[in-house]
Every structure is written in C-alpha cells, then in structure tokens.
Amino acid sequence: MKYEKPKISKKDLEKVIDSNFNIPFENLKEIPGGEIAKTYSFNIGKNKFFIQFNQANMSGGTGIELDYFDRFKALNIPVRNVVKRDVINGIHYAITEEVKGKKLQELSETEIKELLPFIFDALINISKIDIKNTTGYGWFSSGGNGWFPTWRDHINFVMEEEPDELFYGKWYDLFKTTFLDKGTYELYYQKMKELLKYLPEDRYFMHGNFSFSNIIVHNKKISAIIDWQDSRYGDFLLDFTYFVFWFSDSLGNYIIENFKEYLESKNMKTENYYERIKCYKYYFGLDALRFYAKTDQKESYDYALKLLEKID
C-alpha cells in the first residue's frame, strides 16, 4: 500500500496550537515538501515554532530528542527543543522551537568541506552515547533494546517484509503494484549480501538518517541535527555512509578519504573500511528504492537506481 501523509483539519490544527500556548498564534503556514510528515510553521509573539503531524509508525523521532536530550547536550550534540508531543484523532504531532540556519544541502561544496571537522565530531559524539545497559542491534524498542541479535541480521532485514504496524509492512506487494522492480532489487541485494562478511559486530548508538537534509547549519557551525526516527545500534560507519551516499562522486570520495584520516588520527579502527561503506551504500540504495516506490516518487527512484549502478 502506498504511503499517504496524515490529514489534519484546519479546526484540529488550530485547536492543537491554541491548547499549548497562552497567547494567540500568528502567521500559520503549511511548509511544502517533506515526504512523511505534514508540517506547519507559526509564530507566538516574536518566536517561531513548527508543528509536525505523523502517522503513528513514523512519530518516534522527536521522542528520542526528548528522551536523550540531556545525553545529547552532555556530548555537545545539538538538537531541537521539543515543546510538546501528543496525539489528536489518532495522528501524532510534535511542536518544536525554530532552529536558526540552513540545511547542509543548501550550502556550496566549499562550505560543506569547511564544515567537515564539525560533522565528523558530531557523528563520533553520537556514537559515544552510553548504551551499555541495553542489548541487541538495529532499531530499538521503548525499553531500549535492539530488535536483532546481530548487526548483520539488521542489515539483512532490508530484504524482509515487516510487521503491518511498521512503515513498510508487507512491502513485497510493491513489486506488483508499483515501479519497484523485483529483479533489480534482488540483484543489488545479492551484491550487498556478499559484503556482509566484512561487517563488524560493533555496537554504537547511531542517528540512522545522518543526511545533509537533517543537519542544520548556522554561522559555520551545526545548530541542530534533526529527524532521529531511524536511530539504532550498530556500526557507526552506517551513519557516515548515509551522509556521503547522496553526494556527487568527487565530493563523496573526498569526504570518505578525509573521514578515514580523521578516524586514524583518533586511533579508531578502520578495518575493512571501504568494504563496509560499499555494503552500506547497497543497503541505503535498496531502502531508497522501496521508499520511493511506496511514496510514488518515480524520479527519485530513478536517481537512487543510478546511484546503485555506480557503486561497483
């Protein structure tokens, strides 16, 4: 089944905002774009806020920002201030304060290169979040334990159907009802599977969607890292790979070499570095194919397919 953004009436939207503030709101506007959430901005006095509506199975990101806020702050990981999370008519919503800045994807290649030390530090700081009192790999439950017994099981899950309550659910139906091509998907899955042997069973906290669209920059510094919906436990190189996956070959390769030097300068392990990145590129490419099929974005699907074709 194709994904649809949640629908919220104007009456319910205004009711939610009014119930959370003591003074009237102004300048209510829908924010265009976005693939999962329905988002609006508004002002309370001189301060700007955003309210984001999500289906239940895609609403956990701001909960992580709330639950881990103190730990993020202790490690100098910048996140948004989440004012309120709640549910109205079965639709989950979150109100957040405005974060000053631009998304990293709006910056020039030169500006991105200048920010790399801050980005690398943020990525490694995320991996330092204490998870010693938890178990398992991959996405974690409300109790803090990962769903999978091994990291390779989690990566391999990109080929498996999911419980109905998750985003993809019984997604094999997409092979019949959308432009998702089964032969193509299986081809790149096999390429990914051949690289699983290079993956470590290291266990770190990860953002899970560490992309240039989720990094906000202001005054040449990171002002916030947003969208923690896909947080998980495993090899931190997965986070790094998602960051470089969408860049051009020249910039992506430049960043890959710079990050290897960065890790070596910190005396961090780089064993099977390139093989792990290659494996994770296939993983994210496969996930992109089914995501764009489910959300009916053929142009983006074709672009993701081109990225997969270039990995070899």
40-91 pLDDT per residue, tens: 999 999 999 999 998 876 666 678 888 899 999 999 999 999 999 999 988 9
Same domain? For 174 and 258 the reply is: yes
Flag the least confident range among 82-86, 126-130, 164-168, 230-234.
164-168
Structural domain tally of the chain? 2
With b for 16 or more beta-carbon neighbours within 10 A and e for fewer, the 50-64 pattern comes to bbbbbbebbbbbbbb
Is the pLDDT reported for residue 95 higher than 90? Answer: yes
Q: Judge whether residue 244 has pLDDT over 80.
A: yes
Two tokens, residue 265: 């300068």
- Structural domain including 237 reads 102-311
Give the end of a domain, one of 97, 124, 142.
97
User: For residue 45, how many C-alpha atoms fall within 13 Å in the half-sphere facing its CB?
Assistant: 5
CB atoms within 10 A of CB 135: 14
Residue 1 lies in a domain: no
Q: What does the chain come to in residues?
A: 312
Residues 198 and 220 in one domain: yes
Q: CB pairs under 8 A, 24+ apart, for 10-18?
A: 12/88, 12/89, 13/40, 13/51, 15/88, 16/51, 16/86, 16/88, 16/93, 17/42, 17/51, 17/95
- Residue that finishes a domain, picked among 66, 97, 128: 97
pLDDT score of 255 more than 90: yes
Which comes out higher in pLDDT, residue 254 or 3? 254
One domain for residues 112 and 93: no
Going by C-beta distance under 8 Å and a sequence separation of 6 or more, which residues neighbour residue 277?
Answer: 237, 240, 241, 244, 256
- Whether 156 maps to a domain, the answer reads yes
In a shared domain, residues 182 and 47: no
- If asked whether residues 257 and 153 sit together in one domain, one would say yes
Q: Does residue 216 lie in a domain region?
A: yes
CATH label of the domain that carries residue 55: 3.30.200.20
The confidence band for 125, taking pLDDT boundaries of 50, 70 and 90, is very high
Say yes or no: 137 and 65 in one domain: no
Q: 249-283 in b/e burial notation, b at 16+ Cβ within 10 A?
A: eeebebbbeebbebbeeeeeeeebbeebbbbbbbb
Task: Calculate the average pLDDT of the chain.
Answer: 93
> Domain check: are 146 and 285 in the same one?
yes
Do 148 and 259 share a domain, yes or no?
Answer: yes
Copy the structure tokens of residue 130.
Answer: 């204490």
For residue 5, tell me if it sits in a domain. no
| Cα angle 259-112-115, degrees, rounded to a multiple of 5 | 65
Considering the domain architecture, whether residues 259 and 298 belong to the same structural domain is answered as yes
Q: List the CATH number of the domain containing 205.
A: 3.90.1200.10
Residue 4 lies in a domain: no
Residue 4 pLDDT level (bands cut at 50, 70, 90): confident
Residue 179, domain member (yes or no): yes
Q: What is the pLDDT of residues 265-288, one digit of tens each?
A: 999 989 999 999 999 999 999 999
Longest dimension (CA), the chain: 59
Distance between CA 272 and CA 197 in Å, rounded?
10
Mark whether 68 and 167 lie in a shared domain. no
pLDDT at 61: 67
Residues 231 and 84 in one domain: no
Mean pLDDT value of segment 133-151: 94
Looking at residue 177, its pLDDT comes to 96
Check residue 2 and give its pLDDT.
66
In the predicted model, is pLDDT for residue 259 greater than 90? yes
Q: By percentage, how much of the chain surpasses pLDDT 70?
A: 97
Q: Are residues 284 and 206 located together in one domain of the fold? A: yes
**Among the three residues 72, 97, 122, which one is the final residue of a domain in this structure?**
97
